[in-house]
Structure 1
Amino acid sequence: MTARFNHTIIASTDPAEMAAFYRDLLEAEELPSWGPFVNVRIGDGVMLQFAAPPVEFPPQHYAYLVDDAHFDRACATIKAQHREHWADPQRTRPGEINNEHGGRGVYLLDPSGHYLELITRPYL
């Protein structure tokens, strides 16, 4: 059997806020929560678990592939919430999206400071 991605734990300063943010932006499905985890599910059955870590954590990078219609909705949400966003990971093109790799992309920070990337076409 080929390995498939199943779930990950994302360090969160406020797990409930993070789950709400991801449900809204990624149109994720709410799942039952247990222990320290607040859970949502995105495409292909992948579960994202949000939990407060026992130590300080460095920001991570998470890239999500979405279709064009979802990208449009996500960009509208980002703008309506007045969230900073950039066309590039270096954050030199604020308030823009990019048109690279045959699609569109945008970068932003989630409520815990992780770097999110939304793209409409995979790089490879």
Structure 2
Amino acid sequence: MSVELNHTIVHARSNRESAEFLAHLLDLEVGTEWGPFIPVLLGNGVTLDFATIPSESIAPQHYAFLIGDAEFEVALRRIQDAGITYYADPHLKKPGEINFHHGGRGLYFMDPAGHGMEIITRPYGSHAVTPAAS
């Protein structure tokens, strides 16, 4: 068997709030609570297990999601409708803009726990590769 990432724990102020936030923006489903975790299953089989921890213990992380062009449009519209500030750059210097790196589109935004979230339509370093059709 090859090595694959199966799941990772994402620290949150509220596991439910953070899981529902991401699931709504990316049109994913929130799974059934299991112990201290609220899972969100990604299309490639990786699960993000959101866990509530004290907010002073949350170290901000970065999570990047490769999505299709149609999914990007939906996510962008949901981000805008929710009044979430988004940026074209990871340094958060270009608010309200998207980028066009690697022949695709991308943007950055913050989740309720302060994690940096990124959505892209093309993998880094590639101009021709597209995500699997959905």
TM-score w.r.t. length of structure 2: 0.88
What residue is the counterpart of 1:36 in the other structure?
36
Q: How does 1:24-63 map to 2 (within 5 A)?
A: 24-53=24-53, 56-63=57-64
What residue is the counterpart of 1:73 in the other structure?
74
Q: CA deviation at 1:27?
A: 1.5
In the alignment, does 2:19 pair up with 1:6? no
**Which deviates the most, 98-107 or 40-49?**
40-49
Q: Given that residues 27 and 42 in structure 1 are in contact (C-alpha distance below 8 angstroms), is that contact kept between their aligned partners in structure 2?
A: no
Q: Given that residues 98 and 107 in structure 2 are in contact (C-alpha distance below 8 angstroms), is that contact kept between their aligned partners in structure 1?
A: yes
**SS of the residue aligned with 1:30?**
coil
Q: How does 1:44-123 map to 2 (within 5 A)?
A: 44-53=44-53, 56-123=57-124
**Corresponding letter in the other structure for 1:3:** V
Gaps of 5+ in 1: none
Aligned length: 124
**Which deviates the most, 54-63 or 36-45?**
54-63
Residue deviations 1:44-103 (CA, integer Å, cap 9, x gap): 111111002356121100000000000000000000001011000011111000011110
**Corresponding letter in the other structure for 1:37:** F
Q: Given that residues 87 and 106 in structure 1 are in contact (C-alpha distance below 8 angstroms), is that contact kept between their aligned partners in structure 2?
A: yes
Q: Given that residues 58 and 113 in structure 2 are in contact (C-alpha distance below 8 angstroms), is that contact kept between their aligned partners in structure 1?
A: no
Moved over 6 A (4+): none
**SS of the residue aligned with 1:44?**
coil
Q: CA deviation at 1:42?
A: 1.1
RMSD: 1.1
What is the identity percentage for the equivalent residue pairs of Structure 1 and Structure 2? 47
TM-score w.r.t. length of structure 1: 0.95
**Which deviates the most, 46-55 or 113-122?**
46-55
Residue deviations 1:16-60 (CA, integer Å, cap 9, x gap): 101111110121122221111111111111111100235612110
